Structure 1
């Protein structure tokens, strides 16, 4: 059921994050074999992650592929225990989306809206629902990412163009 009153749009996939015990093994496939470009790194004690940020595609079609390993395999979050750690979605208005989804029972992971590894504002939908928040990612961690103005404009232009065709 589509809610025509939804005050935000999901524009596309911003990223996927892949976890493993050794990111060098992940790089062998994704960078050496598949040709993705390493465009940055991110390291966070609080998120227990050491990641290489890779990309494929260009412009609004550029997708980030984060290759992650834990700083400490015994600590949580355990970024390596789920091979497809999370999927990120471009959102045109993140704060509005979070407020609207929360009011409808969507469970978010702790941390709220904050700056992510690639510099965009982010937040996560929790993979598991609970009594207070009965809607969640059903086992999948979903990252909502504030799309920059140029991505919002590009997707708006594409939507307008596709309506004409």
Structure 2
């Protein structure tokens, strides 16, 4: 394996789904004290979400509280309830190219703007014959870290 030409810097978000956002908001915002920072809706992705946050600045982590717009349509953002984990990466295009070259299966859609305005892409939760490495059942989002996050979390050198 060649040296990894990018760094994973930290957790950007966790995304949790339910049939309704109301019980999620009651737990994460009302009971645990996370702050609501916004909302997101996408007909294409069949999702309505509250964006709750923990921490500040480059150390802030989103907890996306999601429900499907139409429970009869796919994707079902509430199945599984822990929908995905988002990771900050210092160079998304380089990471995607290197991961694919190593046999990692990427989800359809390529690199695109995410709900928070950052470029994102996903590692597929299931491997295939062509791409034998995947998320082992977990959807993993890679999120291009902005310069302030790279400066705050990116110390050290690129890992081997």
Length-normalised TM-score, structure 2: 0.95
Tell me what 1:48 maps to: 46
2:132 aligns to what SS in structure 1? coil
Give the total of aligned pairs: 157
* Maintained 8 Å contact 2:47/2:68: yes
> Which of structure 1's runs of 4+ aligned residues deviate more than 2 A?
none
Where structure 2 has 5 or more consecutive residues not aligned to the other structure, the ranges are: none
What is the root-mean-square deviation of aligned Cα atoms in Å? 1.2
Match of 1:29 in 2: 27
Aligned to 2:18: 20
2:149 equivalent among 151, 161, 165: 151
Q: Choose between structure 1 and 2 for higher RCO, CA contacts under 8 A separated by at least 6 residues.
A: 2
1:44 offset after TM fit, Å?
0.4
1:1-165 → structure 2 map (5 Å cutoff):
5-157=3-155, 159=156
Q: Gapped runs of 5+ residues in structure 1?
A: 161-165
Cα offsets for 1:85-114 (capped at 9, x unmatched): 000000000000000001111111110000
Distance (whole Å) between structure 2 residues aligned to residue 4 and residue 10 of structure 1: 16
Higher helix share: 1
SS at match of 1:75: coil
Deviation at 1:61, TM superposition (A): 1.5
Q: What is the alpha-carbon distance in structure 2 between the residues aligned to residue 109 and residue 4 of structure 1? A: 23
